[in-house]
Structure 1
Amino acid sequence: MTLLQISKLDRSFETGKGVTKALEQIDLNVNQGEFITVIGPSGCGKSTLLKIIAGLDTSHEGSVLLDNQKVSGPSIDKGFIFQEPRLFPWLTVEKNIAANLPVKENATQGRVRELINLVRLEGFENAYPKELSGGMAQRVSIARALLRNPKVLLLDEPFGALDAFTRSHMQEVLLDIWQKNRTTMIFVTHDIDEAIYLASRVVIMNPRPGTIREVIPIELNHPRRKTDPAFQEIRQRVLSEFEKVEEFEKTAAVR
């Protein structure tokens, strides 16, 4: 079942030098329960695409439909995870997760406890952000975004600032969440291995103006091993596409 439909999406920005096109003719359908990763060179519009899907940026041309409804602004149907956790420093883990939720207190507490277990933060309910590691703080952000059961979870390089060990652990945590809940996820990253390791499909973008170069299905069962021949074969295919992206960028620069 198709959950998200993006058709002929264009986004331009006014700059001191005139109009700069960030995205051009983006067409993408995302099915319910898919895990999509988006990779591409810096400045190709990956984050802009996420913000448009989230309804945080509505100054675009083209169509964005979520569950057959036009995306016209932020809503509880869409959860967003930024590159940094953005927690309230004066609130505990439990209260950060439940912040600004307009539901009955007993319902909130039950759901918060469920999510604390889901993101593996048992025992840290009363800890404050300053007492958490980077990975733990990002887990709080994920739990908060999942609180209202969004139809799609949008993640903008959420593990980019983490060390390699913590990043690997967070990938496992996120996969565990996805496998248990089957929340549709769209995950932006610069890391090719991360993109392949997590995804149902990898979307590769060309440099600005951002267009979709290739969509590669990842037909590997979980758990995946990055050293397996099948994984490495897909990695070589993705790298080959990136070499074409680099050539595309050089050609565009000459023009």
Structure 2
Amino acid sequence: MSATNLLHIQHLSKIFHSAKGDVKALHNIQLDIREGEFVTVIGPSGCGKSTLLKIIAGLDVDYNGTVSLGGRTVEGPGIDKGFIFQEPRLFPWLTVERNIAADLSLRKPEVRKKVDELIELVRLKGFEKSYPRELSGGMAQRVAIARALLRNPKVLLLDEPFGALDAFTRAHMQEVLLDIWERNRTTMIFVTHDIDEAVFLANRIIVLKPRPGAIQNVIRVDLTFPRKKSSTAFQQLRYKVLGEFDKIEELELVGGAGI
């Protein structure tokens, strides 16, 4: 593994067992992600995007192959891996600052300082004493991101975190997340169904194909930040990703015809 690679995945396969039979969710995933990289993962429903993310997070350890983070095998969840779900999952009885601190005491100067810095980073200054019920969906998700960053994880894993937001809030949150990434340079792996979102955020796009989930292609995004979705270069990359989906659809039609 190169010294610049943070995450190393080799020959990763995952099978779900049930009374109805076995389902091969992932097959022979091989992937390296560099420190400080922003990677988006996209593909049709059922291609194993969320399963891959949970394995990297250590939330699922029943698989074949190897997954290592910072040179150490991933054997379970830990503070070196932050995970953001589609829903913020905040504690409704705690304020913004206490949700971010979680089980750490705000009375400790180092915790207080870090929480204040994160509140500034996620643009929630002035809402420290607010409760989740008083926040918009985007604001609540920013609290969840700040909480995940508190312990300086090596990687931040985001499973369609903006999927439930309206288009305007979603676009705003994409800008906020990029601002956080550019300031912190935390390695991020972001699962999405949205092609524009994948191109807008990423250094690289991992396209997965389904049944079983496997890497269809890895597309490098060399656009500079800030990016404009209306630009010619952006649209060319968007069509390149769309082309991968067309290939997947053709493969599925051929496979279906042969059954």
Q: What TM-score do the two structures reach when normalised by structure 1?
A: 0.98
Query: How many angstroms does 1:15 deviate by?
Result: 2.1
Match of 2:170 among 126, 148, 167: 167
Give the equivalent residue in structure 2 for 1:241: 244
- 3-state SS of 1:117 partner: helix
1:38 and 2:41 are equivalent in the alignment: yes
Cα pair distance change 1:138/1:225, threshold 3 Å: same
Unmatched runs of 5 consecutive residues or more in structure 1: none
1:140 and 2:143 are equivalent in the alignment: yes
What is the CA–CA distance in structure 2 between the aligned matches of 1:239 and 1:23, rounded to whole Å?
22
* 1:24-173 matched pairs, under 5 angstroms: 24-101=27-104, 105-173=108-176
Alpha-carbon contact 2:24-2:212 (below 8 Å) kept: yes
Alpha-carbon contact 2:98-2:106 (below 8 Å) kept: no
Query: How many angstroms does 1:104 deviate by?
Result: 6.9
Alpha-carbon contact 1:206-1:248 (below 8 Å) kept: no
- 3-state SS of 2:86 partner: coil
Alpha-carbon contact 1:150-1:183 (below 8 Å) kept: yes
What is the CA–CA distance in structure 1 between the aligned matches of 2:48 and 2:107, rounded to whole Å?
39
- 3-state SS of 1:73 partner: coil
Q: Per-residue displacement from partner, 1:112-142 (whole Å, max 9, x unpaired)? A: 0000000000000000000000000000000
Query: How many angstroms does 1:88 deviate by?
Result: 0.3
- 3-state SS of 2:104 partner: coil
Q: What TM-score do the two structures reach when normalised by structure 2?
A: 0.96
Cα pair distance change 1:246/1:229, threshold 3 Å: same
Alpha-carbon contact 1:9-1:27 (below 8 Å) kept: yes
Query: How many angstroms does 1:251 deviate by?
Result: 2.9
1:192 and 2:191 are equivalent in the alignment: no
User: How many residues of Structure 1 are paired with residues of Structure 2 in the alignment?
Assistant: 255
What is the CA–CA distance in structure 2 between the aligned matches of 1:248 and 1:85, rounded to whole Å?
36
Match of 2:223 among 220, 225, 230: 220
Tell me the C-alpha RMSD between the 2 structures: 1.1
Query: How many angstroms does 1:247 deviate by?
Result: 1.5
Percentage of identical aligned residues: 65
What is the CA–CA distance in structure 1 between the aligned matches of 2:178 and 2:7, rounded to whole Å?
21
- 3-state SS of 1:57 partner: coil
Match of 1:202 among 202, 205, 220: 205
- 3-state SS of 1:174 partner: helix
Query: How many angstroms does 1:22 deviate by?
Result: 0.3
Moved over 4 A (4+): none
Alpha-carbon contact 2:106-2:112 (below 8 Å) kept: no
- 3-state SS of 1:95 partner: helix
- 3-state SS of 2:33 partner: strand
1:18 and 2:37 are equivalent in the alignment: no
Query: How many angstroms does 1:102 deviate by?
Result: 7.2
